[in-house]
Chains A and B, each alone.
Chain A
Amino acid sequence: MIEIAQLLVFGVVLGGIIALGAVGVSLLFGILRFAHFAHGDMMTLGAYIAFFFAATLGLPLYFAFPIAIVATIAIAVAIDQVLYRRLRRTAPVILLFSSFGMALILRSVVEMIFGPDTVVYDNAIRLPWTVAGLRIKPDHVVILAGTALLVAALHLFLRHTRTGKAMRAMADDPDLARVSGINTERVIVWTWVIGGGLAAAAGMFLALDTRLVPLMGWHILLPVFAAAILGGIGNPYGAILGGLAIGIATELSTLILPPVYKPAVAFLVIVAMLIWRPTGLFAGR
């Protein structure tokens, strides 16, 4: 029993990280109509920018993290304006393939600057606390609190700002949104701000939970997509629930599967969803 509870703790931590990535993927998919394959590597990028400020310049993490989020947002918007914007007029599949190429570009830039080896933010060993028999790492508390804070901020933005409402409308039905007079280019830029910022946060939390390695983002891309599909494309709230579900399912899978097959769980969820309910669990499109 305690073992399952422990796995649930790990699952919620992982699920929060996946959820932050999935919100961006889901909104981008809903608004721009393409699966953004560079999203995982955008997470890698955010994590490494924070590493640069924390390890190389020696700033504390609570300074390095916000700087990395802002920098990643700037890069995400720049990529969209320089590249994706020009490709939007063509078939969506061109955009999809361009983003696959962008995934490689981001990863090779990270690898060129920081090298292919594993690094960590700091080497200090923080002993886990034991709460009611559960082992909880201080980093987990940071990750969960940070995730909760960002999700709350996202909720306020989507519910109470004009741009947020426009974004939800566009993700729900881009054509209807356009004819009702929404400035779509502006909403698209804001979508990259939200998506890029949350991706950077997800990458940094992932790096905090595990380590930094140039492939980290690519390997979490499949769970992120799984969460977005599970939650229903274009539905950010569904993506958050989807992320938690994928995270928990991945960790619990070790009860019945060899741990080396953990990464396959997300794929099994995707296949099951595509066969059984391609529109997602939470009444997306």
Chain B
Amino acid sequence: MELPGLLSFLVFFVTFAGLYGVFALGLNVQWGISGQFNLGVHAFWAVGAYTSAILTTEPGGAHLGGFGLPMIAGLAAAMILCALLAVLVGLITVNLRTDYLAIATIGIAEVVRLVLKNEAWLTNGVRGIPGIPRPFAELGGDAPALVFLAIVALALGLVYAALEILRRSPWGRVQRALREDEAAAGAAGKNVTGFRLQSFVLGAAIMGLGGGLYAHFFAFISPEAFDPLITTFVVWVMLIAGGSGNNLGAVVGAFVIWGIWSGSGFLTELLPIEFQTRAGSLRILLIGILLQIILLTRPEGLIPEETAPRRKSGGG
């Protein structure tokens, strides 16, 4: 089955926006709900993608594994491994203040990048992992794309529903209390370290799911794909633009910013050919300026968090 060009692009667009939505939700658990500043989104993205890739590809590749497991097993393992990494990271960083946490998570992401690039036995190094199976690829035409859209929509829906339940639960209230005033929540008998670690790990597991989906969507991954400034930064802009602390805002932000990002791609195609190679920089520049405008004029985002009447901007 073949879709007309525009519809085919729309499917691609919505799938990718939904994927980013998963990451924005994961980040919202860490930052929006719990107030932990993670600048290493791309590290969890990469670990999730590589885990699922290694487990689901066919044997015989140049990297570790090729276990030929089904995609669902790959995704589950991606979430578990990202959660384990987050526990390890969290034990060091959980009680750091924001700036130190930001620096530490950048450092962790740097170590992950070095490992992916240099441990060829594990990841095939800079050559990357090809042939990651896409479900129902044998149907041909545009059918696999539609199936994948459904899978992403299902994942996004499940994560969103789970997070909404959690946000309204006592657990969510404790998280927000910790975010606003850690000392007071601690004095009220809440286990500060435990709760912070839980949200950090949960957010990381969701990012792992997103990373796994990403690997199956593109069928090929390499360390180059996890440029911190493109991945982490864009996810952050999505969350801030949408409204951190608000799950719906995170998803809306993902679609809006991905729309702007894709739209700017059309714009830069109008540039003279000699500037085409630098169009990527221009798009990042535009997103960067957009972020500064949001921070200056509407730091609470498109759909602000609904709860507290008294708000500290940014929730920090």
Question: Does B127 make an interface contact (CB < 8 A)?
Answer: no
- Cα distance A222–B228 in the bound complex, in angstroms: 13
- Report whether B288 and A278 are in contact in the complex, using a CB–CB cutoff of 8 Å: no
Residues of A83-137 whose CB lies within 8 A of B: 83, 86-87, 90-94, 96-98, 100-105, 107-109, 111-112, 115-116
- Check A97/B107 contact, CB under 8 A, given A264-B114, A271-B92: no
Q: What residues of chain A lie closer than 8 Å to B102, measured between beta carbons?
A: 35, 37, 96, 100
CA distance A163 to B189 in the complex (A): 47
B20-58 vs A, Cβ < 8 Å mask (1 yes, 0 no): 000000000000000001010000000000000000000
Q: Does B154 contact A (CB under 8 A)?
A: no
Instruction: Summarize A's interface: helix, strand, loop or mixed.
Output: helix
CB atoms of B284 and A108 under 8 A apart: yes
**Secondary structure of the B contact surface, majority rule:** helix
Binds B, one of A13-21, A168-176, A255-263: A255-263
CB pair B288–A271 under 8 Å, yes or no, is no
Query: Chain A residues with Cβ under 8 A from B240's Cβ?
Result: 97
CB-contacts of B62-101 with A (<8 A): 92-93, 96, 98-100
* A237 in contact (CB, < 8 A): no
The reply to whether B278 and A112 form a contact with Cβ atoms under 8 Å apart is: yes
B200 at the interface (CB under 8 A from A): no
Indicate whether A35 sits within 8 Å of B103 (C-beta atoms), given known contacts A86-B296, A91-B312. Answer: yes
Minimal beta-carbon separation of A279 from chain B (angstroms): 11
Size of interface on B: residues with Cβ below 8 Å to A: 43
Which residues of chain B are within 8 angstroms of A221 by Cβ–Cβ distance?
106
Q: Is the CB of A105 within 8 A of B289?
A: yes
How far does the Cβ of B191 sit from chain A's closest Cβ, in whole Å? 20
Q: Are A96 and B98 in contact (CB under 8 A)?
A: yes
Q: Choose among B37, B100, B118 the residue that contacts A261 (Cβ–Cβ < 8 A).
A: B118
Interface centre among A86, A274, A278 (most CB of B within 10 A): A274
Residue of A nearest to B91 (CB): A275
CA distance A104 to B96 in the complex (A): 25
CB distance from A48 to the nearest CB of B (A): 13
A275 CA to B91 CA, complexed, in Å: 10
- Find out whether the CB atom of A102 lies under 8 angstroms from the CB atom of B292: yes
Query: Does B229 count as interface, using CB distance less than 8 angstroms?
Result: yes
Nearest neighbor of B103 in chain A, beta-carbon distance:
A225
Q: Give the complex CA separation of A260 and B312 in angstroms.
A: 43
Contact with A along B91-135 (1 / 0, CB 8 A): 011001011101110111011001001100000000000000000
Indicate whether A267 reaches chain B with its CB closer than 8 angstroms.
Answer: yes
* CB-based contact A112/B296 at 8 Å: no
Whether A35 contacts B110 by the Cβ 8 Å rule is no
Known A108-B284, A267-B110: A274·B104 in contact at CB below 8 Å: yes
Chain A residues within 8 Å of B315, by CB:
91
Given contacts A83-B292, A104-B284, A261-B118, whether A91 and B104 have CB atoms under 8 Å apart is no
Pair B284/A35 contact, Cβ less than 8 Å: no
Closest B residue by C-beta to A272: B92
A218 touches B229 (CB 8 A): yes
Q: Is the CB of A267 within 8 A of B98?
A: no
Query: Are A87 and B278 in contact, with the CB atoms below 8 A?
Result: no
Q: How far is the CB of B103 from chain A (nearest CB, A)?
A: 5
A58 to B104, CA, bound (A): 41
Q: Does A34 contact B (CB under 8 A)?
A: yes
Min C-beta distance of A202 to chain B, whole Å:
18
A190: CB under 8 A from chain B? no
Set of chain B residues within 8 Å of A266, measured between Cβ atoms: 107
Closest residue of chain A to B118 (Cβ to Cβ) is A260
- Number of A interface residues, CB 8 Å? 45
For the complex formed, measure the closest distance between the CB of A72 and the CB atoms of chain B, giving whole angstroms: 18
What separation, in Å, do the CA atoms of A37 and B39 have in the docked complex?
A: 11
Is the CB–CB distance between B282 and A108 below 8 Å? Answer: yes
Cross-interface CB contact of B110 among A93, A96, A107, A264, cutoff 8 Å: A264
Partner of A222, one of B37, B110, B295: B110
- Given A105-B285, A274-B92, A97 contacting B236 (CB threshold 8 A): yes
Min CB–CB distance A130 → chain B (angstroms): 32
Q: State which of A93, A96, A100 has its C-beta within 8 Å of the C-beta of B233.
A: A100
Tell me, rounded to whole Å, the shortest Cβ–Cβ distance linking A251 to chain B: 17
Taken together as a complex, chains A and B put the C-alpha atoms of A73 and B82 apart, in Å, by 42
* B313 sits at the interface (CB 8 A): yes
Query: In the complex, which residues of chain A have a beta carbon less than 8 angstroms from the beta carbon of B292?
Result: 83, 98, 101-102, 105
**For residues 262 through 307 of chain B, which have their beta carbon under 8 Å from a beta carbon of chain A?**
277-278, 281-282, 284-285, 287-289, 291-292, 295-296, 299
In whole angstroms, how far apart are the Cα atoms of A106 and B114 in the complex? Answer: 24
Query: Could you write out 5 A-B pairs with CB less than 8 Å apart?
Result: A93-B316, A101-B237, A105-B292, A115-B277, A116-B277
Beyond A100-B236, A103-B229, A108-B288, 19 additional contacts (C-beta under 8 Å) are: A93-B37, A97-B236, A98-B291, A100-B102, A101-B291, A105-B284, A108-B281, A109-B281, A116-B281, A221-B106, A222-B103, A222-B106, A222-B110, A225-B103, A260-B117, A264-B110, A274-B92, A274-B100, A274-B104
